[in-house]
């Protein structure tokens, strides 16, 4: 089993990007308006794959005062304190206001895609008869027990070109595929169709190593990161 835990900065300092995620001990902000802030549409008639679009400002309650916080019940959302506003925007990170808050901002990531065919592992026994896709998971079943494998993401050089702070539209979802059609592709899906499933976040965030260094130099240490395979 290939377990990737936290990396030290020395281990990744010559890389282009790292994946960022919250340390296990971190307080995480909470999202209060999931059902009204996102438009969620079915992508497939047979399984739970959905596309999610943000419509309105996020209504967020920060926790614990960390300047960068993941949003625990948001699909890969992060917020940044107002004290980081200038540093982030000067380094190319787009920010969006939060609903009725001036002390934190919402990060607006650039889009990147990871290589689904290489990593992470997929379950091989649940190919959807509609879209022929399988659940994307980061865990492995060993002797009937699920282990969090924390596989590193694999990306291509092209996918991360120019990325300062990126997020994948692909989500980690363990879906259940039905043999009969049950959804209308393109039609609205209920907010509980969004499966947080595996992993700490269901849409992955990456950051350029140069931005990470800038944040560390500025005293922001509430981040954990792991290497990303670039091919
Ligand atoms: Zn499907």
What are the pLDDT digits (tens) for 125-174?
Answer: 678 999 998 888 776 666 666 666 667 889 999 999 999 999 998 887 77
100 CA to centre of ligand 1 in angstroms: 38
pLDDT on residue 110: 98
Cis peptide before 225 (omega within 30 of 0): no
DSSP reduced 3-state for 114 = coil
Token pair listed for 43: 């992508």
Confidence of residue 65 (pLDDT cuts 50, 70, 90): confident
176 CA to centre of ligand 1 in angstroms: 9
Closest CA to 191 of 30, 22, 32, 71: 32
Confidence of residue 182 (pLDDT cuts 50, 70, 90): very high
61 CA to centre of ligand 1 in angstroms: 34
Distances, alpha carbon 197 to alpha carbons 75, 174, 178, 193, in Å: 11, 6, 18, 11
Residue pair 31/70 in contact (Cβ under 8 Å)? The answer is no
Domain ranges in the chain are 9-230
Q: Sort residue 143 into left (φ over 0), alpha (ψ -120 to 50) or beta.
A: left
Say how far apart CA 139 and CA 174 lie, in whole Å: 10
Residue 151 per-residue DSSP state: P
26 CA to centre of ligand 1 in angstroms: 35
187 CA to centre of ligand 1 in angstroms: 14
129 CA to centre of ligand 1 in angstroms: 6
Check pLDDT > 50 for residue 100. yes
């Amino acid at each position: 089993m290939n377990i990737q835990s936290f990396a030290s900065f020395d281990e990744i300092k010559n890389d282009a990007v790292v994946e960022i995620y919250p340390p296990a001990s971190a307080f995480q902000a909470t999202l209060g308006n999931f059902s009204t802030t996102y438009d969620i549409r079915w992508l497939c008639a047979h399984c739970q794959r959905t596309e999610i679009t943000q419509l309105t400002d996020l209504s967020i309650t920060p926790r614990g005062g960390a300047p960068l916080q993941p949003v625990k019940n948001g699909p890969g959302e992060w917020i940044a304190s107002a004290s980081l506003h200038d540093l982030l925007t000067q380094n190319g990170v787009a920010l969006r206001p939060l609903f009725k808050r001036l002390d934190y901002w919402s990060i607006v990531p650039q889009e990147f895609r990871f290589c689904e065919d290489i990593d992470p592992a997929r379950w091989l026994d649940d190919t959807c008869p509609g879209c022929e896709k399988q659940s994307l998971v980061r865990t492995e079943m060993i002797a009937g027990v699920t282990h969090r494998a924390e596989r590193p993401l694999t990306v291509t050089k092209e996918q991360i070109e120019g990325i300062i702070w990126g997020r994948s539209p692909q989500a980690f979802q363990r879906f259940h595929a039905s043999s009969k059609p049950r959804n209308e592709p393109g039609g609205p899906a209920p907010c509980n169709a969004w499966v947080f499933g595996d992993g700490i976040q269901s849409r992955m965030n990456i950051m350029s190593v140069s931005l990470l260094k800038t944040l560390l130099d500025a005293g922001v240490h509430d981040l954990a990161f792991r290497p990303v395979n670039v091919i």
